[in-house]
């Protein structure tokens, strides 16, 4: 069955993806479920992140959709030992774990990530260690890992001999546990301290793991002292991570901390178009807009949508249009559409400006009331699926031209008035996160 599934998938994914990520998997169909055994975490993560949907789609098209699909580390017949017993205890200096697709060239820049990107490019400059460590923080799927790996890939492009290591924090912890168990701490320390650049992803996983933090702290200091590069990511500002030692937090603040924000609509569209291009998918701009308008908070979901579109288009042999996307992504978009409602927007805006909902929806036209109302209408246009007349109706029975005017006014204000722009961005974030 797995072989058939592979053959099926082969027709729609790039061959190199299939060879690189899917061939190494061992499949085990049991009790209506499917366990996929990956040889290591890198493969597991990639499959989990990018390939789970194509696999599920393929099986479903074959009429064989399992009840659940799990992606695990470890070979079925080879060992029953837990994942931590992998050869992780012998970190090899040459394995940098970087994914070659994550580069600055494939990273789409927008207002939301501009600063983070510029900082990352600096961190990848071989002649200049301006800020060290560089900390990139922000929500899930906003490109932290992509940027961090871009630093590594750029460093290696300039200095192929450089010892660069990309490690997820969980992996660092596992590796250390194994090293302790096998009395190999010296080797572990030696490995990390000999690096030219250490990229350590998702340090929120260190929370509560004291021994790991301590080890990391020492590694960290030793690298910093000799001006080796460190890039760190975290899913929020580290000060807000409970269970993370203060001395670590304060060390992070020696360098530069930059945030990645959810991308604005235009950036989301640009990302979709660029990914489509990369995967050889013909994606009309209006379809990109249609999807990006709805899938707002997470770039990973944009990619997921794209891959599903591609698969459906290939099976049915139809070109990708807005109507086609509506159908193919029906369930996924429904989830997003439900997220933000007119009521939700109205309540949030009223709360934000500390005004009464009745005023927001009422007839008063004083600036302090009309402005938030316009913002709320513009947000409704951007964040929901509702038409202009529907939005007008929902805002105390107003005409659709009033809504249109509000949208234009807000667009203009956002370009000229930083306060309005900031309010809009804040509200949009509150509503979509
Ligand atoms: P994070 O580490 O912040 O959770 P990732 O770096 O894993 O997010 O990004 C999730 C996916 O979205 C990746 O495939 C990445 O390539 C893509 N992505 C995110 N931001 C951008 C961007 N600005 N340009 C291109 N791709 C992006
Ligand atoms: Mg990440």
Taking alpha carbons only, the member of 367, 376, 393 closest to residue 428 is 376
Are the C-beta atoms of residues 275 and 143 closer than 8 Å to each other? no
Stretch among 81-90, 100-109, 391-400, 403-412 having the lowest mean pLDDT: 81-90
- CATH code for the part of the protein at 2-80: 3.30.300.180
Ligand 1 center to residue 110 CA distance, Å? 13
16 is in an annotated binding site: no
Q: Look at ligand 1, atom 4, and give the residue with the nearest C-alpha.
A: 141
CA–CA distance, 69 with 72 (Å, rounded to integer): 10
Nearest ligand, CA of residue 102?
1
CA–CA distance, 46 with 336 (Å, rounded to integer): 24
Ligand 1 site residues, Cβ closer than 6 angstroms? 106-108, 113, 140-146, 271, 299-300, 303
Ligand 1 center to residue 141 CA distance, Å? 5
Cα-to-chain-centroid distance, residue 431: 18
pLDDT at 250 over 70: yes
Are the C-beta atoms of residues 167 and 45 closer than 8 Å to each other? no
- Tokens representing 363 are 């007839």
Residue with tokens 């559409």: 337
pLDDT at 86 over 60: no
Q: Look at ligand 1, atom 18, and give the residue with the nearest C-alpha.
A: 143
Count of beta carbons in the 10 Å neighbourhood of residue 214: 14
Average of pLDDT values for 139-165?
93
The mean predicted confidence, pLDDT, of the chain is 86
pLDDT at 258 over 90: yes
Taking alpha carbons only, the member of 109, 36, 95 closest to residue 70 is 36
Predicted confidence at residue 95, as pLDDT, reads 59
- Tokens representing 300 are 């990973």
- Within 8 A by CB and 6+ apart from 218, the residues are 189
- Tokens representing 214 are 């301590």
Predicted confidence at residue 338, as pLDDT, reads 67
Query: How is domain 265-339 classified at the CATH fold level?
Result: Helicase, Ruva Protein; domain 3 (1.10.8)
Give the gyration radius of the chain's Cα atoms.
Answer: 24
Q: Which atom of ligand 1 is nearest to the CA of 263?
A: 23
Ligand 1 site-directed mutation target among 108, 117, 140, 146, most atoms within 8 Å of CB: 146
Angle at 49 between CA 44 and CA 53, to 5 degrees: 105
**pLDDT tens-digit series, residues 30-52:** 877 888 888 877 788 888 877 88
CATH superfamily, with its number, for domain 342-432? DnaA protein, C-terminal DNA-binding domain (1.10.1750.10)
Paired strand residues for 275? none
ipTM of the shown complex: 0.99
b/e for 236-266, b at 16 or more Cβ within 10 A?
Answer: eebeebeebeeebeebbeebbbbbbbbbbee
Three-state SS annotation for 17-59: HHHHHHCCCEEEEECCEEEEEECCHHHHHHHHHHHHHHHHHHH
Count of beta carbons in the 10 Å neighbourhood of residue 291: 25
Predicted confidence at residue 78, as pLDDT, reads 38
Average of pLDDT values for 141-156?
95
- CATH code for the part of the protein at 87-259: 3.40.50.300
CA–CA distance, 378 with 414 (Å, rounded to integer): 11
Per-domain boundaries in the chain? 2-80, 87-259, 265-339, 342-432
pLDDT category at 103 given cuts 50, 70, 90 is very high
333 vs 143, residue with greater confidence: 143
pLDDT at 380 over 50: yes
Predicted confidence at residue 257, as pLDDT, reads 93
CATH topology of 2-80 equal to that of 342-432? no
Stretch among 38-42, 118-122, 254-258, 350-354 having the lowest mean pLDDT: 38-42
Stretch among 57-66, 153-162, 412-421, 422-431 having the lowest mean pLDDT: 57-66
pLDDT category at 91 given cuts 50, 70, 90 is very low
pLDDT category at 424 given cuts 50, 70, 90 is very high
Predicted confidence at residue 166, as pLDDT, reads 95
Predicted confidence at residue 433, as pLDDT, reads 63
Reported pTM: 0.64
Nearest ligand, CA of residue 141?
1
Stretch among 77-81, 164-168, 315-319, 384-388 having the lowest mean pLDDT: 77-81
Average of pLDDT values for 90-101?
65
Predicted confidence at residue 41, as pLDDT, reads 76
């Amino acid at each position: 069955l797995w072989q058939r599934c592979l053959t099926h998938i082969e027709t729609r994914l790039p061959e190199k993806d299939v060879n690189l990520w899917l061939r190494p998997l061992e499949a085990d169909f049991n009790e209506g479920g499917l366990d996929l055994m990956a040889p290591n975490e890198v493969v597991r993560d990639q499959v989990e992140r990018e390939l789970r949907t194509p696999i599920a789609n393929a099986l479903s098209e074959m009429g064989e959709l399992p009840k659940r699909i799990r992606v695990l580390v470890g070979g079925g017949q080879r060992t029953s030992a837990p994942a931590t017993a992998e050869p992780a205890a012998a970190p090899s200096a040459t394995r940098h774990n970087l994914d070659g697709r994550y580069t600055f060239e494939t990273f789409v820049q927008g207002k939301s990530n501009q600063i983070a990107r510029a900082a990352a490019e600096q961190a990848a400059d071989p002649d200049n260690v301006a800020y060290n460590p560089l900390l990139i923080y922000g929500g899930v799927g906003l490109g932290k890992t992509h940027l961090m790996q871009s630093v590594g890939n750029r460093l290696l492009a300039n200095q192929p001999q450089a010892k660069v290591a990309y490690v997820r924090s969980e992996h660092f912890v596992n590796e250390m546990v194994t090293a302790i168990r096998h009395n190999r701490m010296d080797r572990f320390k030696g490995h990390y301290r000999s690096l030219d650049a250490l990229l350590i992803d998702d340090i929120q996983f260190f929370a509560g793991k004291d021994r790991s933090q301590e080890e990391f702290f020492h590694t960290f200091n030793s690298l910093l002292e000799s001006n080796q590069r460190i890039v760190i990511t975290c899913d929020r500002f580290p000060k807000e991570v409970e269970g993370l030692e203060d001395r670590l937090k304060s060390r992070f603040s020696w360098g530069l901390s930059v945030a990645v924000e959810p991308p604005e609509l235009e950036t989301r569209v640009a990302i979709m178009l660029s990914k489509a291009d990369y995967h050889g998918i013909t994606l009309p701009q209006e379809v990109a807009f249609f999807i990006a308008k709805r899938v707002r908070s997470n770039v990973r979901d944009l990619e997921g949508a794209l891959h599903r579109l591609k698969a459906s288009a290939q099976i049915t042999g139809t070109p990708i249009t807005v109507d086609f996307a509506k159908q193919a992504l029906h369930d996924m978009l429904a989830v997003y559409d439900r997220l933000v409602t007119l009521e939700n927007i109205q309540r949030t805006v009223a709360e934000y400006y500390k005004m009464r909902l009745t005023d927001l929806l009422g007839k008063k036209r004083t600036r302090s009331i009309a402005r938030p109302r316009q913002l709320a209408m513009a947000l409704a246009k951007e964040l929901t699926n509702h038409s202009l007349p529907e939005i007008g109706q929902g805002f105390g029975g107003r005409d659709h031209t009033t809504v249109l005017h509000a949208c234009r006014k807000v667009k203009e204000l956002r370009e000229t008035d930083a306060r309005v722009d900031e309010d809009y961005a804040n509200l949009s974030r509150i509503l979509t996160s």
